[in-house]
Chain A
Amino acid sequence: MEPHASSFVSKARTAFHSAAAKAERVLTDFKIDLDSDKQFHDDDFGMQRGDESARSENESKFRNELKHIKWRPPGIGTKQDWQDRINNIRKGRKEVEVTDKVGDVNVGSVPFYDENLYILNVKNDLDAKASEAIPTVEGLTAATKHPIPPSSVLKQLAIAIEAGRQTNSMKDFVASSPAREKAGLSISSVKALVLREKEDKLTSEFSSDEKVVYLINSLFDQEGEFLRRKINSDPEETSISSLPRDIHGAPPESLVVKLAEVIGNFKTLRGMSLFWSRVVDELRKHWSEEKHLLGVPPDDIPDLKSCLLYQQFQVINCCISRKRRHIIAIESLDSMVMEANSNTSDSANYMGRIPTSPLLYARLRTGELVLRLGADCPSGDLTLLETGEPAYSPVTQEGPLLTEDLIKETEEFVLRTGSVGAGCSQLLSDMQAFKAANPGCILEDFVRWYSPPDWMESEGSTEDRDSFYGGESMSSRGQLSLRMQKEGNLWRELWETSKSVPAVKQTPLYDEDLAVEGILDAFEDIQPSELYRQLFVSLLGLGFAIAETMLSGDIDTSKLFNDCKEYIVTTSQSDGFHEKVNELVQMYETVEKMLLNPDKALKMMKHMEESTMTTDEPKRRFSTGEPKHRFKRFSHIFGGKDKLLTPVRKDEVNDEEKQIRHSFSSFFDSKSSLFSKKPPKPGNLYPGEQPLSLERLDSYLDKVQFHPI
């Protein structure tokens, strides 16, 4: 597998497959360095130029790159760039000029990611330069013509996962930019205040940006056409449905997957975060206007096999449905009561009036008619024991909507306190509803409806309507089970406590407003890596689900595909997900190649297997007779890197070193070949990092020999 998808280098490699190709890549990377340097010096750091001349060219490039990562927070252009952009907007200059300027801003503000895109795909890089910093609806719609979302989108989410791990809350993620800039640039406090003020202005400007508004509207559009891809799932339905759930993602075509694709197309981490805030605002609006979210079932309980984000969207929709039903039910009950009252007040017709069909009455033993409240439907052939009236099942309150995090909390609460309150609350609620729907009922009537096995029919056939309830003079038609007759039985105590109250008038067992407000607050304060991880997994699931149907007919690619699929399922379900995000991206890239260029993908895979075979050679002496199949080779290649991480993890790393190490880690991923030319000095690296990085570089360069630690 080749980590760098550059078409030019790839062609050279395919044609010659020799050192010449590597030389070509070195030259290409060198050019990137020059471009980056030039861009770097055009920025505020031009003042550093004097010092630079005192150092070797190689060293200065390395240090500049480091400064770039450390000091320039992503998404923040230079003061001048932003000022120019604002001026252009105000002057309403021609679109072409605006495009050029914005392109320049993009390059200036995120050269790091721009280089990343260049390494991935030269053409994509050219497109990126020309395109806006904010993705457009048109651009995203055009992308749906590709069979699966481009791997660059998934890559961006992977970068965000890594970057977001340093932050606890999305709010901090957005707000941290000014602080970091202040620290990095050493600007005076007054200047910092000016920047902060500008920051706030830019934030509000982002929300009202025309493209952002259009994106939001398209994403939540009720027609649901946005980002729709053809998934020919008819013959493969079972197979399709299992993969996204196996990796705890979200269903294809769902709002979560579309959200992942949109956010993954932003070029900056800041843009991604600001867009998420905008999405949360839109969710609040939908909730207050009681509009369902499209791409989420309108009335399903949370699907625990999908990601938490999807479950929470389900709860929002379900609560909207419940609120609507509740309003209708209350209006219905109130109008019924009003009608009954108006009937009663008309005393002249009272005695002879036949009850109208919508009103249900029950006649007590005294002959008095009592209105049934909240009656749903007759309960089979059951009749009330004392009055002989038909028994009705009542409308009951709906159960709680628990997402996986709340289930865990509830379970821990019950374990800690021994509380059975939830069960008792529901039972009491049902008893009250039953009493309201069945005037004149007794506990035995309720039990016959609620818990049939606890009612034992009598053998006697004598029917005695006048029999009184009482311990010893139980109705001859049957009796409660022995366990239900026990002294101190909680059911009886609850029954005697309960009042006649229809469900819609009871205190809610589950408060929809409280539930949704909690979810929306959690969204605002979500940990960035937690959000991006779920979006990443969901998009991964979509790509594989689509690819599965498209590749199932081809035996060769299908076999390779299943190896990739098995790997991602195993990895997604395991611990240490964060260490393996990049491997998952590579799996996705492999599948992408399979769809776009099947022959080439197979050839690359064979090449990788040959590398694996060679690597296995020395180990074969130690592991006698152990069979190795394809998946194990896969696992070995990527598992090897996992092992390399262990020594670093075990060492104690102070905060500063840790921060640097993460920067290095991201840096190495995108600039791996840089270090094949310029081995870093020992003093510049944390000791444990150097062998790790070198090994990582080796794997990227497809070198034949692995050297496990």
Chain B
Amino acid sequence: MDSSSGHQEFDYLFKLLMIGDSGVGKSSLLLSFTSDAFEDLSPTIGVDFKVKYVMMGGKKLKLAIWDTAGQERFRTLTSSYYRGAQGIIMVYDVTRRDTFTNLSEIWAKEIDLYSTNQDCIKMLVGNKLDKDGDRVVTKKEGIDFAREYGCLFIECSAKTRVNVQQCFEELVLKILDTPSLIAEGSKGVKKNIFKDRPPQSDASASSCC
């Protein structure tokens, strides 16, 4: 299902956040999930977002997925979007070891600093599985990190779309298993009942300063 073309009814609103080094494929992963397309996208400037409606566990969910720029200079700007996120996706590139190392050096610390949601579900994602020949981070290393850090784990490829749907589904199912996050999701619905919102803008149509 494509991004919202207008106002739709839903049961829960969840906020998801994607973080990780620049160039690991966060934006492509998000595009692959929301529109089944792949593009080698220009680097994200600041933050971007997409909205997707999904049916899961018998419920209609509205997912607001925030895509952040990984460059250090944008960190102050992106830090405010951690607030209230029910799910956080940490992405690394299996062909670049530094992007895996920075998960604990940088991104886990950012989560500790800025996330205001103690129960938020974290998911580790190793992207660019299609370049398995260039792989430098093994699956076992990913599993070990996830176990130690206490988060979900999956490897995928935004290009071939392997495991892309599963990635988001696993995360959302875990959120639906968490009562406090369900409560927050319901609050989002109540809030939106009283606001009419214009159709979702495409990234390509985004206006600039």
On whether the beta carbons of B114 and A417 are closer than 8 Å, the reply is no
* Residues on A with beta carbons closer than 8 Å to the beta carbon of B200: 418
Q: Is B126 part of the binding interface, using a Cβ–Cβ cutoff of 8 Å?
A: no
* Residues on B with beta carbons closer than 8 Å to the beta carbon of A410: 80
* Residues on A with beta carbons closer than 8 Å to the beta carbon of B202: 418
B: interface residue count bin: 35 or more
Contact of B116 (CB < 8 Å), options: A304, A421, A428: A304
Segment at the interface with A among B67-75, B138-146, B158-166, B167-175:
B67-75
On whether the beta carbons of A416 and B45 are closer than 8 Å, the reply is no
Q: Give A302-361 interface residues, CB cut-off 8 Å to B.
A: 304-305
* Residues on A with beta carbons closer than 8 Å to the beta carbon of B23: 451, 453-454, 481, 483
Q: Give A473-523 interface residues, CB cut-off 8 Å to B.
A: 481-484, 486, 488-491, 494
Number of interface residues of A (CB under 8 A): 43
* Residues on B with beta carbons closer than 8 Å to the beta carbon of A453: 21-23, 96
Q: Is B57 part of the binding interface, using a Cβ–Cβ cutoff of 8 Å?
A: no
On whether the beta carbons of A482 and B114 are closer than 8 Å, the reply is no
Q: Is B40 part of the binding interface, using a Cβ–Cβ cutoff of 8 Å?
A: yes
Q: Is B206 part of the binding interface, using a Cβ–Cβ cutoff of 8 Å?
A: yes
Given contacts A402-B80, A451-B22, A454-B23, contact A420 B208 (CB under 8 A): yes
* Residues on A with beta carbons closer than 8 Å to the beta carbon of B205: 418
On whether the beta carbons of B77 and A423 are closer than 8 Å, the reply is yes
Q: How far is the CB of A416 from chain B (nearest CB, A)?
A: 6
* Residues on A with beta carbons closer than 8 Å to the beta carbon of B207: 417-421
On whether the beta carbons of A486 and B81 are closer than 8 Å, the reply is no
* Residues on A with beta carbons closer than 8 Å to the beta carbon of B46: 420, 422-424, 426-427
**CB-nearest residue of chain A relative to B83?**
A407
Describe A's contact surface by its main secondary structure: helix
Which of A415, A416, A425, A454 counts the most B-chain CB atoms under 10 A from its CB?
Answer: A415
Contact of B42 (CB < 8 Å), options: A402, A411, A425, A483: A483
What's the Cα separation between A549 and B180 when bound, in Å? 30
* Residues on A with beta carbons closer than 8 Å to the beta carbon of B201: 417-418
**CB-nearest residue of chain B relative to A486?**
B42
On whether the beta carbons of B73 and A426 are closer than 8 Å, the reply is yes
* Residues on B with beta carbons closer than 8 Å to the beta carbon of A451: 22-23, 43, 71
What's the Cα separation between A704 and B85 when bound, in Å? 45
Contact of A450 (CB < 8 Å), options: B48, B71, B197, B198: B71
Q: Give B175-204 interface residues, CB cut-off 8 Å to A.
A: 197-198, 200-202
Instruction: Show the binding face of A for B, using Cβ within 8 Å.
Output: 301, 304-305, 396, 398-400, 402, 404, 407-408, 410-411, 414-428, 430, 450-451, 453-454, 481-484, 486, 488-491, 494
Chosen A-B contacts, 6 in total, with CB atoms closer than 8 Å, are A400-B80, A404-B116, A416-B198, A419-B206, A420-B47, A494-B208
Instruction: Show the binding face of B for A, using Cβ within 8 Å.
Output: 21-23, 40-49, 51, 64, 69, 71, 73-74, 76-77, 80-81, 83, 96, 114, 116, 197-198, 200-202, 205-209
